[in-house]
Amino acid sequence: MIDVVLWISFVIMCIALIVTFIRLVLGPTLPDRVVMLELMALLSVAFIGLYSIKSGHSAFLDVALVLALTAFLAAVGFARYLEKGGLHDDD
Amino acid sequence: MGHTTALLALPIIIPLLSGALSLIYWRSRKAQRIIGVLGTTALLVLSGMLVAEVWQHGIIVMHMGGWQAPFGIVLVSDMLAASMVFMTGISAVTTAFYALGSVSKRHEHFGFYPLMHLLLAGVNGAFLTGDMFNLYVWFEVMLVASFALLILGGERAQMEGAIKYVALNLVSSAILLSAIGLLYGLTGTLNMADLGYKIGQLEDDAMISVVAMLFLVAFGIKAAAFPLFFWLPASYHTPRVAVSALFAGLLTKVGVYALFRVFTVIFPFEDTFAQSLLIWIAGLTMVTGVLGAAAQFEFRRILSFHIVSQIGYMLMGLALYSPLAIAGGIYFIAHNIVAKSGLFLISGLVYRFKGSYELKELGGVYRQYPMLALMFLICAFSLAGLPPLSGFFAKFLVIRAGVEAHAWWLVATALAVGFMTLYSMVKIWAEVFWKEQEVCHIKPPRKYHGGTRIMYATVIGLALLTIAMGLAMEPLFLIAQMAAEQLLDPAGYIEAVLGVTP
Amino acid sequence: MGTLMAFLVGGLYAAAIYMIMRRSIVKLVIGLVLLSNAANLLIFTSAGMTREAPPLIPLGALQPDGVVADPLAQALILTAIVIGFGVLAFAVVLIHRAYEVVKADDMDQMKDTDT
Amino acid sequence: MLLAVLSGFLFACIAPVVHGARPLAKSYYGAGWVLAMLPAVLFLWFASHLRSVGLNGEVILNSWTWIPSLGISLSFRLDGLSLLFALLISGIGFFIIAYAGRYLEGHKDQARLYVLLLSFMASMLGLVLSDNLISLFVFWELTSITSYLLVGFSHEDKPSRLSARQGLFVTMGGGLALLAGFVMLGMAGGSYELSELLSQRELLHDHALYAPMLILIVIGAFSKSAQFPFHFWLPNAMAAPTPVSAYLHSATMVKAGVYLLARLNPGLGGTELWTMILGLVGAFTMFIGVFLAVRSTGIKKVLAYSTVMALGTLTMLIGIGTPTAITAAMAFLLAHSLYKGALFLVAGIIGHSTGSKDFMHTGGFRSAMPVTALFAGVAALSLGGIIPLFGFVAKELMLEAVLDAPLFSAVLSTLAVASAILGVTVAAIVGIRPWYGRLAETKVTPHEAPPAMLAGPVVLASLSLVLGLSAPLVQQWLLGSAITAVHGAPVEKNLSLWHGFNLPLLISAVSLVAGLLLFAVWRGFRRATRFTDLLAKVGPEQWYERAMVAITHVSAWQTRMLQTGYLRYYLMIVLGSMVALVLSQMWTYRDSINLLIDVSDLRFYEVVVAGVLGAAVLMAAITSSRLSAVAALGAIGFTVALLYLLFSAPDLSITQVLVETLTVILLVLVLFRLPGFIKLSPTHLRLRDAGLAVIVGATMTLLLLSVNGTQYFDSISSYFIAESAPSAYGRNIVNVILVDFRTLDTLGEIFVLALAATGVLAMIRFRAEDKDL
Amino acid sequence: MTTDYVTFGLELATAFFMLVGALFMLLAGLGALRMPDLLMRMHATTKAGALGSGVIMVAVALHFGEAGVTTRAVAITLFVMLTSPVAAHVIARAGYFTGTPMWSRIVRDELKGKYDRDNHTLDSPPRYKPKATAETSEAPAANTDTDKKEP
Amino acid sequence: MNNMMSLVLRTTGYFLLPLLLIFSVFLLLRGHDEPGGGFIAGLVASAAVCLHLFFTDIAATRRLLHIDPRDLLGWGLTLATLSGIPAVFMGDPFFTSQWVEMTLPLLGETKVGTPLLFDIGVYAVVVGSVLAIVLSLAEAEE
Amino acid sequence: MNGLTWNIMLALIWVGMTGNFTGSGMAVGFLLGYLLLGVTLRDVPRFSGYIRKVPRVVRFVFFFLRELVVSNLRVAYDVLTPTDYMRPGVIAVPLDASTDGEITLLANLISLTPGSLSLDVSTDRRVLYVHMMYLDDPEQARAQIKYFESRLLELLR
Ligand code: NA
Ligand code: NA
């Protein structure tokens, strides 16, 4: 049973990933994209969780741990950039 | 043989430590200068001992970390590596001393010394390592050090030159890294001797030959061979002259060394497509480099282009693939390090006195600074291959090897390029030294204050060295010959590292 | 997977090269990031890829159980990633300074040094 | 003998000291005398061998090892030929240096002149004494270098610099050919020792490389000895101060080529090719030289062209190679050295004492400077080949040799007669024009030269007479052994002033009359032959000039084409080369390359991750917004990290995430300052670049597919897996590799990081402000 | 027997949490795709993303049933809960500050015009100030929906 | 008072900072056995300091560090290089690991070796380099 | 020494005694410690606050989780239906929370709960600006958030 659910979950996650990426491409502004990057980090965390279940290796969780702790820094960096007057939209 | 000695690692460890200490003492110029002098001198002495050691014991090997080959990283020194390390020592000492007089406080404050030490460490690491990936790592150490040295000063020309230098060298690094990755995928090993040993056993080595092309290109870029040399003339004339001299003396030689190493031990070269290709590359490198120089009217640019053309001679040594030719190529490398560094350093002194590198704006040096002029003549004529200087014998060896191999076109090219080198040197001589200077934009510093004297001393040292290398050719030739024989007998190398006879 | 990776790596190289060849120096840097990733993935693929078997040894054991992924390739890539990062940091600041000095983001305005 | 050679260099080193020494400080020419003692001593030392070497025909060999592994030694050989040359070099050297002391008295660069003259002399001695081809070549090139510096002595004048350069280029260019020839010769003969080579005549003649080596050596010799088509550099080298010209042209450098040909004659000579090349080129050069001498008016130019004639004559004679010809060559050599040395010094005196440099501005100086005039006349007589001077002896022999030449006798004789006639004219120009007739107006009031300057002409001209009168003695003591050395065997030909009435004498007489007639109508002759200037426009000197221009143009063109300054072109070439090489090799081995295309084991989430990665890469590449590109980089980072994770590399995955985050932070920090992307390239260029990029990518794909399909050996990583815990006490094998098995990699890696940081600090904090070096 | 039930129950729970977590992640993605403006997208991503990954971590903890794993799963969840609202907050703030356009159907904007663009101070509405001495005279730069680029 | 960054970020940041630093030390120490190691740990520590920089300013971050990143760089390099030296005195090649077995409170029998020293050196270098770069860039920005 | 510290020490002692150095051992120890404290030290003023607070924390956590789930379901609903029902807007919420920690925690928790997203805190820290998804009635929304704040503050003070 768990395998089937795993596969279904993976499918769902994949759709989520694709959808997120589409929004990343669509933007339209920098903050939108940054939000999508954030979401991708969260998706990765979830993905890693699923994968560690699937593989039975808890060592992969360390990756998620690091992601959870540090991925938001990129967002903070972008935010700082925006507040300092960087362009938020240079298409 | 497997003779283990700490001597093998010290040429890497010493500059690494000197660099690290210089970084620690980044606030103190004095400490950095002392470390600079002591570190490089120690390097020279130790590398001299290394040469002696190899001379006595043959190839020596050190298994770093105590892990047996091919699993751990080995340091290997055959005569080629040892003599290259020794030449690095010479380059190091000259640069360190010249820098005492020439490098400004700000350059020192922003890392000239650590960068210099680490560049040397990278160079020596590349010479001594017996592991492909480790070679890549040392290449990168050397490269990033050179990046940083290149931009030290922050002038526009430096930035422009550096962008091309960085971009092209990073592309070459990526190619090298990819090639190593592919080779690892094919053979499952990284140790050079092990690679040579295993590839030697293959009946069908199609993919090896393909991957060898990547190495040829990657090292070709590093060596500034035709048609991959563009990064060099775009950038070498832009940094401070002590840096240019160091680059000119060492960097491209590491690429050449890697070609020598890889195409003897790992992909033996004889009668392969790569060999016939390299003959063409060698010739064209000589010609395009020397013509590039002929088109220039700036002291250091001329010298930069000549680096390229001289690389052609070294490659010619490898391409002909006979003991004499390879010995010639090796001797050529050593000669070029001395003569080219000397010329760059002289250009720096000229700049200090006259405030320009443009031939048009210069003049009158022969009248005012006859000693400097004499040193230039010695180095320039050495570069042009005039006897009895080192350059002559370097040229003589490759030409003799070419004649023996009946490589007539290559010999003719080499001779013609020698002529063209003379052309450029004479151009500099006539414009900078003989001609009267019309306007001098700077007030020349007092002729012999301390810094200038040290600069002079290093230049004189190099000039004397190029004479000595010619006059005392016999021992040097024996060393080069030993290096060549070792290179042409990869089995000896493999046995020394792995303890097996292929 | 090796096949798919081969195409992916090819794509990464292509994109990297294309970016490096642009006139904008910012793109140059982006190209360098791509190039470094391309080379790393190439090593990863070339060494052979193994699923769900990290090269870790369980507590108390002397060997991993079963086949594990090639640790050497991973170590090489890790080194390469670090080196790539260092180089990239340098390159990023270099274009920053070049822009300040040249006052343009255009490679075509940076060709005075050659001839 | 090594000392004999080296002493010159040693003296050169101390010359500036001597020059500046206090006791001599009051009269700078004093230093000239002091330094001239060296050649004097050397001359005496060589003269002391006249009995053993000259009279008894001994050969003294001396050898010092230098580079035995390459067969290069400092071996010296004193036989008749080298003795003759050594005597000329040191003897004339004595006068020249003494003369220079006075001639350039007070000149700011006088010390440098001494240095150069002494070095030059030493090099010449080394050249003629060397018994080893390579050491001979070393000295050969040294003479070129020193002569370059001597010719460019007045280096602040542009013409002087250009002339020096011309001479250097021609002789050095020839030198390169010579080197190649020597290397071939050494290879053919199995040694670089002349003593060994010269005894292997048959071997050399039959060697497959005989013709090329001969031609190369001859080119070298011709360029040095100003044979057609290299003759033009010599008269231009007149930019040098007179002592220099005299030394270069009388005894020494220009005769080096002749010396070499003479030296190699026993080994290489005697073939038709030899005779053809040397004989014809020599004869032609002889004629051209003398013709141009008559066409010129500048004092030094006339003398220089007449030197060209003499060199041509010598070459021709060596080419003919008969005993008579060799005898004639040696006699001519000696005669020429004496009279030409004297005449050049005289020319210097004229310039020094009157300020005139052109025969057109001379005349009637005889009364003001009688001694000079007298000895100039004597030397000119020898030049004209008038009895009883030594020049006569030489000329008679020359005519005889030409007439008896086994090959091309008709051509050679015609040219020889014509040259003899013009030679008399030249002699008349030199011997009569300045001294007789109306007193010319000059800048300086004509006055007699000081003894230091007169010594040379007086002694040399006198010797022309004395030797002429004692021709048999000269042969016995000096020339005989030289002739033997050149011919390779003793020669039964006697030197004498009087041969009786024969054809050569008749020719001499006729040419004397014709030559004097021609002198009478000198102006007219020059006008009548003005058409030859047109020839000069397409002559070898023009070739040289064009070559110089061509070098500039070709090099500028090449640099424009290759070093364009555009990074993308560089990349195109570099990557194009890579692709071409890789693909060509893959094509060569297409049969044994196995492309592995296998998508059966894919899992869908891997495909999705890879697909998103691919899409992100595409986005990074084509987006027109740099911020989107950075965002795409972030996406690439995450997906790559996922890929590492999916294939069992947690450490890589973590590192990738962290590095990507920091990269984005860095980019963001920097982008703040930078402008947005501008569409800089037109579409077709972007398509072109994209095309190349795709080809590169495809090549990498192909490579990877083939490597995936090939695994020659098992990886060494099984060792790390097995040993990590037991031997290195670590359970994370990757980390154990990093910090233990392959510490050195990691060490290098952290140094890279540190270097990058140092570089960044330098870039940001260090502004280009101070310009000090 | 009991252990079998326990195991099955755990498996069932694991499966449930996995599925729910994945669905929440999908929700986050779809929300991001469909919502009309930045802030509204962030509603979806922040909440669903954090919850989804947290739920999956619950599944992880259940599946492994090891203390070490549980600790890590809890830590991951906590970290996500800690960082993702902060990230959302800073982006939202920066996005608003730089004038990222809002959906046209926004009903109310009490923040409008409160930012001082030069020193980044944010004013509070007059009615919430301690004294009702609202200085309406100071008029910060207008922050309109159409004002895309900052000065 | 820096208004650039919000109160929320600053408060959370002060909470996260020690957390990240502790985490980085944890990654460093366990790197030999589990995913982690000097490099990863160093990056996490640098990320922590970057965070601090983002919610405060450069002056504050420099104060936080106590040590100039350049010093960290030099000492890290020296430590890493020197960790290879003891082997020579034991008669082994450079960088042969030297292990000392010791009993530590709480941890029990533990092997401590030069690889750990090396990894600490790596950690210091990574932190030093990244911070040197980021801080100077941030300075240049102002 | 406050209650929490005591509790932790008791848990550590428990773990040390049992030799069960695991998370679960720690949890059991903590629970036991809390019960012990609750039974024995209920009337010691220093600990009474702590003992009362713990159940509130637990309750708040559940409250928060419920909010979180509800908010997600709401989002799910929104995502899957047309956007017409949404009434987004920004409101200013006056703050009772005064310390940095309180404000931050509140802001972050608001971001994680339904339909609300903290935008920023005014510089004088009196007002929190919140973006709402369904701003049918601003005052009601404000009240909702104030209720949330009060639950949180109750816990923290
Ligand atoms: Na493979
Ligand atoms: Na080790």
Segment D224-277, tens digit of pLDDT: 998 888 888 888 887 778 778 777 777 678 889 999 999 999 999 889 899 999
Q: Which of D708, D715, D744 to mutate to test the interface with C (most CBs of C within 10 A)?
A: D708
**What's the structural domain count of chain E?**
1
**Which of F5, F20, F35 faces A80 most closely, judged by CB atoms?**
F5
Question: pLDDT-derived band of residue F97, with 50, 70 and 90 as boundaries?
Answer: confident
DSSP line for G2-64:
-HHHHHHHHHHHHHHHHT--SHHHHHHHHHHHHHHHHHHSTT-HHHHHHHHHHHHHHHHHHHH
Instruction: Give me the pLDDT at residue D130, please.
Output: 92
Average pLDDT over residues D361-366: 82
Query: Residue E146 above 70 pLDDT?
Result: no
Residue A39 CA to ligand 1 centre (angstroms): 36
**Which of F4, F34, F35 faces A83 most closely, judged by CB atoms?**
F4
* Residue B226: closest CA among B252, B263, B190, B197: B252
Block residue for tokens 């999508």: A36
**DSSP helix/strand/coil, D462:** helix
Instruction: Give me the pLDDT at residue B428, please.
Output: 94
DSSP line for B218-260:
HHHHHHT-TTS-THHHHHTTSS-HHHHHHIIIIIHHHHHHHHH
Instruction: Give me the pLDDT at residue D494, please.
Output: 76
Q: Which residues contact D165 (CB under 8 A, 6 or more apart)?
A: B426, B430, D148, D152
Instruction: Give the DSSP letter of residue D732.
Output: B
Question: pLDDT-derived band of residue E135, with 50, 70 and 90 as boundaries?
Answer: very low
Alpha carbon distance D315, D329 (integer Å): 8
Residue B211 CA to ligand 1 centre (angstroms): 12
* Residue D433: closest CA among D507, D526, D530: D526
- Ligand closest to CA D712: 1
CB atoms within 10 A of CB D760: 29
Alpha carbon distance G59, B406 (integer Å): 94
Question: pLDDT-derived band of residue E141, with 50, 70 and 90 as boundaries?
Answer: very low
Mean model confidence pLDDT for chain D? 87
G75 touching E (Cβ < 8 Å) = yes
Mean model confidence pLDDT for chain A? 88
**Domain annotation covers residue E128:** no
Alpha carbon distance B335, B337 (integer Å): 5
Question: pLDDT-derived band of residue A90, with 50, 70 and 90 as boundaries?
Answer: low
Instruction: Give me the pLDDT at residue B446, please.
Output: 54
Alpha carbon distance D131, D117 (integer Å): 23
Instruction: Give me the pLDDT at residue D595, please.
Output: 86
Q: Which residues contact G122 (CB under 8 A, 6 or more apart)?
A: E114, E122, E123, E124, G92, G128, G129
How many Å separate Cα D181 from the centre of its chain? 14
- Cα four-point dihedral sign B254, B255, B260, B264: positive
Query: Residue F1 above 50 pLDDT?
Result: no
Cβ contacts (< 8 Å) between E30 and chain G: which residues? 79-80
Average pLDDT over residues A34-59: 93
- Ligand closest to CA D596: 1
CB atoms within 10 A of CB F25: 14
For D554, the token pair is 């070709």
Q: Which of E90, E93, E119, E122 to mutate to test the interface with F (most CBs of F within 10 A)?
A: E90
**DSSP helix/strand/coil, E122:** strand
CATH topology of domain C2-50+70-112: Helix Hairpins (1.10.287)
* Cα dist from D450 to D29, D95, D101, D102, G116, whole Å: 11, 13, 11, 8, 114
Average pLDDT over residues D128-157: 90
- Cα four-point dihedral sign D728, D734, D740, D742: positive
* Vertex A47 angle, CA A43 and A53, to 5°: 155
Alpha carbon distance D50, D63 (integer Å): 21
**Rounded to a whole number, what is the largest CA-CA distance in chain F?**
60
Cβ contacts (< 8 Å) between B17 and chain F: which residues? 78, 81-82
CB atoms within 10 A of CB D487: 24
Query: Residue D54 above 70 pLDDT?
Result: yes
C109 touching D (Cβ < 8 Å) = no
Instruction: Give me the pLDDT at residue D251, please.
Output: 66
Instruction: Give the DSSP letter of residue D624.
Output: S
Instruction: Give me the pLDDT at residue D771, please.
Output: 47
Tens of pLDDT, residue by residue over E96-110, are 888 778 787 777 777
Q: Which of D613, D618, D619, D625 to mutate to test the interface with A (most CBs of A within 10 A)?
A: D625
Question: Rounded to 5, what percent of chain A is helix, strand, coil?
Answer: 85, 0, 15
Backbone torsion region of residue F37, taken as left when φ is above 0, otherwise alpha when ψ lies between -120 and 50, otherwise beta: left
Query: Residue A86 above 90 pLDDT?
Result: no
Mean pLDDT in consecutive groups of 10 residues from the start of chain B, 502 residues: 70 94 90 94 95 93 90 94 95 92 84 93 96 96 94 85 90 95 94 94 88 94 91 87 90 93 89 88 94 91 92 93 93 93 93 87 88 93 91 93 93 93 93 84 62 89 93 92 93 91 78
Point out the least confidently predicted range of B168-177, D114-123, F26-35, F99-108: F99-108
Q: Tell me if B54 sits within 8 A of B85, measured CB to CB.
A: no
Question: pLDDT-derived band of residue D770, with 50, 70 and 90 as boundaries?
Answer: very low
Query: Residue D558 above 50 pLDDT?
Result: yes
ipTM for the predicted complex comes to: 0.93
* Cα dist from B171 to B219, B226, C105, D121, whole Å: 11, 16, 20, 55
E94 touching F (Cβ < 8 Å) = no
Tens of pLDDT, residue by residue over D426-481, are 888 888 888 888 887 777 788 888 888 888 889 989 989 888 888 888 888 888 88
Are the beta carbons of E120 and F8 separated by less than 8 Å?
no
Average pLDDT over residues D554-562: 87
For F56, the token pair is 């405060």
CB < 8 Å from A in window 115-144 of E: 120
Point out the least confidently predicted range of D335-349, F71-85, G80-94: G80-94
DSSP line for G110-141:
HHHSTTEEEEEE-TTSSEEEEEESB-S-HHHH
| Distance of residue F125 Cα from the nearest chain C Cα, in angstroms | 12
Instruction: Give me the pLDDT at residue B448, please.
Output: 55
- Beta strand pairing call for G89-94 and E108-109: parallel
Tens of pLDDT, residue by residue over D651-700, are 999 999 999 999 988 888 887 677 766 667 788 888 999 999 999 999 99
Tens of pLDDT, residue by residue over F15-45, are 889 989 999 998 998 888 888 899 999 999 9
* Residue D348: closest CA among D466, D433, D244: D244
| Distance of residue D658 Cα from the nearest chain B Cα, in angstroms | 21
Are the beta carbons of C90 and B185 separated by less than 8 Å?
no
Write out the residue range of the structural domain in which residue E97 sits. 2-103
| Distance of residue C47 Cα from the nearest chain A Cα, in angstroms | 21
Domain boundaries, chain F: 2-141
Q: Which residues contact C5 (CB under 8 A, 6 or more apart)?
A: C41, C44, C45, C49, D610, D704
Which amino acid makes up residue D220? G
Q: What is the CA radius of gyration of chain G?
A: 20
Three-state SS annotation for chain F? CCCCCCHHHHHHHHHHHHHHHHHHHHHHHHCCCCCCCHHHHHHHHHHHHHHHHHHCCHHHHHHHHCCCHHHHHHHHHHHHHHCCCHHHHCCCCCCCCCEEEEEECCCEEEEEEHHHHHHHHHHHHHHHHHHHHHHHHHHHHC
Residue C1 CA to ligand 1 centre (angstroms): 13
Residue D263 CA to ligand 2 centre (angstroms): 68
Question: pLDDT-derived band of residue D637, with 50, 70 and 90 as boundaries?
Answer: very high
Query: Residue D82 above 70 pLDDT?
Result: yes
Mean model confidence pLDDT for chain B? 91
G131 touching E (Cβ < 8 Å) = yes
* Residue G33: closest CA among G6, G70, G52: G6
Domain boundaries, chain B: 269-492
Block residue for tokens 């081809």: D133
By the 10 Å C-beta count (0-12 exposed, 13-18 middle, 19+ buried), E136 is classed as: exposed
Instruction: Give me the pLDDT at residue F40, please.
Output: 94
* Cα dist from D306 to D292, D391, D420, D536, whole Å: 8, 13, 11, 17
Q: Tell me if A90 sits within 8 A of D676, measured CB to CB.
A: yes
Higher pLDDT, residue D3 or E58: E58
For F84, the token pair is 């290879």
Point out the least confidently predicted range of B426-430, C14-18, C97-101: C97-101
Give all chains having 3 or more CB-to-CB distances under 8 Å with chain C.
Answer: A, B, D, F
State residue B9 phi and psi, 5-degree precision.
-90, -25
The yes-or-no reply on G/B contact (3 CB pairs or more, < 8 Å) is no
How many Å separate Cα D532 from the centre of its chain? 30
Residue B176 CA to ligand 1 centre (angstroms): 17
Question: pLDDT-derived band of residue E148, with 50, 70 and 90 as boundaries?
Answer: very low
Q: What is the dihedral of CA D577, D582, D584, D586, to 10 degrees?
A: -170
* Residue B115: closest CA among B35, B232, B220: B35
**Which of D572, D697, D699 faces C11 most closely, judged by CB atoms?**
D697
| Distance of residue F89 Cα from the nearest chain A Cα, in angstroms | 38
Q: Tell me if D280 sits within 8 A of D408, measured CB to CB.
A: yes
Cβ contacts (< 8 Å) between F121 and chain B: which residues? none
Query: Residue E150 above 60 pLDDT?
Result: no
D744 touching F (Cβ < 8 Å) = yes
Alpha carbon distance D63, A26 (integer Å): 86
Instruction: Give the DSSP letter of residue D608.
Output: H
Point out the least confidently predicted range of D193-207, D513-527, E23-37: D513-527
Give the CATH number for residue E86: 1.10.287
Q: Which residues contact D684 (CB under 8 A, 6 or more apart)?
A: none
Average pLDDT over residues D502-506: 83
Instruction: Give the DSSP letter of residue C23.
Output: S
The yes-or-no reply on C/D contact (3 CB pairs or more, < 8 Å) is yes
In residues, how long is chain C? 115
Average pLDDT over residues E56-63: 93
Q: Tell me if C12 sits within 8 A of D615, measured CB to CB.
A: no
State residue D49 phi and psi, 5-degree precision.
-90, 0
Cis peptide before B388 (omega within 30 of 0): yes
Tens of pLDDT, residue by residue over G77-122, are 877 777 667 788 888 888 888 888 888 888 988 888 878 888 888 8
Cβ contacts (< 8 Å) between E70 and chain A: which residues? none
Are the beta carbons of B62 and F97 separated by less than 8 Å?
no
Tally DSSP H helices, then E strands, for chain C: 3, 0
Mean model confidence pLDDT for chain G? 81
Instruction: Give me the pLDDT at residue E132, please.
Output: 44
**DSSP helix/strand/coil, C92:** helix
Query: Residue A56 above 80 pLDDT?
Result: yes
Average pLDDT over residues D599-621: 93
Element (DSSP H or E) covering residue G90: strand G89-94
Residue B185 CA to ligand 1 centre (angstroms): 4
